Structure 1
Amino acid sequence: MTSVTLRAMTEADMPAVLRLEQATFPSDAWTEGMLRGELADQPRTRHYIVAETDGEIIGYAGLAAAGDQADVQTIAVRARWRRSGVGRAMMRELIAEAVRRGAGAVFLEVRADNPPARAMYEHFGFQPIGVRRGYYDDGTDAVMMMRTLQADVEGAYG
């Protein structure tokens, strides 16, 4: 397998990330302004990363963290790279960052009609805690999930 590198997302990554965002979430993609707003809060309350191979961005993910709580803001992997471990590598990094920032729990929302994503989150110990009806622009429900963190247990995150 080709080597994949994770690194901090920068403004220079914006065009590639926006293309991936629109391809991955066609009905409710974030706008350029939304993504720039997230990056503007990095590293204060945000941690955004990209996954790349041979200079090509094949995934990105973001975490918001404040106080003792962290939220996975987004995670996307280019279609041909799904189920290759890229998403899991990015999720490990987001959870590790939440631990570094002292969060006691990580939250996220996932589309109710996305079983592969839910399975990945469950692999990392996320449990469903509720449903947000009609949360996404196309009316799809969001399943809210949470994982409690044990900052003192090295490697306990997948």
Structure 2
Amino acid sequence: MMRWLSQWWRGGTAAVEPASMRDAARLAQLHGASFAHGWGEGEFEAMLNERNTLVHRLRLGRRTIGFAVSRIGADEAEILSIAVDEAYRGRGLSRTLLMTHLGHLAGRGVRTIFLEVEENNQPARRLYAGCGFVVVGRRERYYKQPNGEQLNALLMRRDLS
């Protein structure tokens, strides 16, 4: 009883579910708050309409607090973006989101997943490594920051089979 009450008080239990068009504005808001070059609502609407793109939202109670987006090609997929509202980071929710998203990709026949991450983004690197991703490459000066600085990207891979 106390666990249920505690979860209710904090906003409910976390759920990962397919995103829909009505989520596009919130997903754009989350992306803009998480990345230097945020995607707009129209970009999310376009991705939500693509058959080869899988978009999940992370919901806590009634509030969408995160998302994951992947593009699928044959038996491979690339995670294009994953984000969790800053107020909810550090609670293991991104791991729940990512692992559930990977399970859905596997269910669609995906055997290999790729992603890129800023080399200096230690929280994201720890998340991906903890979920079985390994570094397989590096792209020099790949991410351009608002101040003009260019940061390296690491290419990571995980096999699902």
More strand per residue: 2
Give the partner amino acid of 1:9. Answer: A
Counterpart of 2:90 in structure 1 is 83
2:44 equivalent to 1:35: yes
Find out whether 1:11 has 2:21 as its counterpart. yes
Aligned residues: 147
Task: Work out whether residues 28 and 136 of structure 1, in 8 Å CA contact, stay in contact via their aligned partners in 2.
Answer: no
Question: Is the alpha carbon distance of 1:31 and 1:140 closer, same or farther for their aligned partners in structure 2, counting shifts above 3 Å?
Answer: farther
Q: Secondary structure at the match of 1:134?
A: strand
Q: Which residue of 1 aligns with 2:158?
A: 147
Which runs of 5 or more structure 1 residues have no equivalent in the other structure?
Answer: 151-158
Which residue number corresponds to residue 65 of structure 1? 72
TM-score by length of structure 1 reads: 0.87
- The Cα of 1:63 is off from its aligned counterpart by 1.4
Q: Does 1:112 align with 2:92?
A: no
The residue identity in structure 2 corresponding to 1:72 is I
Give 1:143's aligned amino acid.
L
Structure 2 distance, partners of 1:78, 1:120, is: 15
| Kept after mapping to 2: 8 A contact 1:28/1:137 | no
Displacement of 1:110: 0.6
CA distance in 2, matches of 1:136, 1:34: 19
Task: Give the TM-score normalised by structure 2.
Answer: 0.85
Larger helix fraction of residues: 2
Alpha-carbon distance in 1 for matches of 2:43, 2:26: 15
- Mapped to 1, the partners of 2:42 and 2:62 lie a distance apart of 24
What do residues 8-51 of structure 1 show as CA deviations (whole Å, max 9, x unaligned)?
A: 111111121111111111x221233322221111xx21110111
Give the corresponding residue for 2:140.
133
Query: What is the Cα deviation at residue 123 of structure 1?
Result: 0.7
The secondary structure found in structure 2 opposite 1:109 is: strand
For the Cα contact (< 8 Å) 1:72–1:94, is it kept in 2? no
CA RMSD of aligned residues (A): 1.3
How far is the alpha carbon of 1:149 from its aligned partner?
1.4
Measure the CA separation in 2 of the matches of 1:31 and 1:110: 20
Q: Give structure 1 regions of 4+ aligned residues with deviation exceeding 2 angstroms.
A: 31-34
Identical aligned residues as a percent: 28
